[in-house]
Structure 1
Amino acid sequence: MNAHDSAGAVAEAAAVLAEAARTGVPCRPVRDLLPEADSEAAYAVQRLNVERGIAAGRRLAGRKIGLTSPAVQRQLGVDQPDFGALFADMAVPEGQPIAPGRLLQPKIEAEVALVLGADLPHRDPTVADLLRATAFALPALEVVDSRIADWDISIVDTVADNASCGLFVLGGTPVPLDRVELRDVRMTLTRNGETVSRGTGADCLGSPLTAALWLAATLAGLGEPLRAGDIVLTGALGPMAVAAEGDEFTAHIEGLGTVTTAFAAPATEGTGA
């Protein structure tokens, strides 16, 4: 595929995904539009839609890391994580229900979020650099979503689709990193009071800090380094859980606390005045 054809394929894939997000109708996989297993082209699709979002007035608030589970990496035939963009309008405050129909086919993951207090501009950041740059950690829920029908995704599809990101919810009590060992934290995720996922910090690439270092190095290498104020969702601590309207989820992460979100139930037909 020559450069002209590649640019056209990137534009077409971006348009297909944007239309699915706009209409709420899942689309076909975009992998058939792009060179096979070409993550560079997939990131070009992602970047195009992110740039269009910024041009439309959306504010970039940070990044998410995906594919931090070795099992999921093997499933998609990759040996490293991926990343996507977090916009401020994707943040859902605790206590604010997620409206019916806001997402296409949501699932929930419990994660550690880092909020940066300084830039991470180096292409070879150390753990010390990351620790100094992190203002605090929070428990988080990522509401993953796919614009692609039936979650029929390859690595190209998920990367192009902003790493299958939907919304995110942050807990409200900041915890400095000198008060918690992120590698050892234990996570429990419940849906309507029933445990649906468990995991530890070590299940996220060995440690959420390892995942964050990978992201910092990758973005610095692309000339788009993490900046002070950025939110970093470091990746799932356990298996994702399917979400439906009316469901309530709570994640408890030892040392960080809890974070809760709920999906509003659909409105019932009125019975008259």
Structure 2
Amino acid sequence: MYFAQFYLDCLSQASYLIADERTGRAVVVDPRRDVDEYVADAEAHGLTVVGVINTHFHADFLAGHLELADRTGAWIGYGHRAETEYPIRKLTEGERIELGDVTLQIMETPGHTPESISVLVYEQPDDTVPYGVLTGDALFIGDVGRPDLLASTGVTAEELGAMLYDSVHHKLMALPDETLVFPAHGAGSACGKNLSTDRQSTIGRERATNYACAPMDEPTFVALVTDGQPTAPGYFGYDADLNRRERGLFDPAAVRALAA
């Protein structure tokens, strides 16, 4: 298996490239809009990007799904609740994506947003313990995703909080302790209030140290995770909506011209 994390410090944002080195088939999860690094890394390792997965509609940045699909011909995947202006592959609970021996499995983990998913990574298709789980903004290191962002139009913070409680306490915390945790954000992101600077963890560590993963009932959880959240930047709703839309592709040459 080839597994790479790409971390963008200015956004405190992590994205991932996972591949089966035998078949060369790869998937990128939560890409940023400038996709050159993913394409270069895949080419350097003889990999073909066949799919792009967004764990949810990102509110803090424009994602690079359209750019990667344009560059590689890959399909774009979201949780099945997602509605977009461009063609997508709707991913459902338990669905498996076989890259070869390396297998990805979808886990629906709504709460930060209604369409949120996590991605289980298995080195072998019959492994009983996942290598890791890409949790998007459902579970961070030291925190969980906030359920109160205005990006989730039409769904209340209380409704999303109840979804998040189920996702964290009944799904993610049900994974084996040794499962590695790879979130979409770290410290500095406004998507949570207590994010760690660490870039990976384990389910066991989060169970033992994450305040939101301690045993509690749903009302306590919702009150705890919604209290004291920082004010969401005004552009969050705009970005989340634009990530649903067919839009112009990122042009690095135009950015360089502006900077000249």
Asked if these proteins are the same fold (TM beyond 0.5), I'd say no
Specify which structure has the higher proportion of strand: 1
* TM-score of the aligned structures, taking structure 1 as reference length: 0.27
* TM-score of the aligned structures, taking structure 2 as reference length: 0.28
Specify which structure has the higher proportion of helix: 1
Greater length-normalized contact order (CA 8 Å, ≥ 6 residues apart): 1
Structure ID, larger Rg: 1
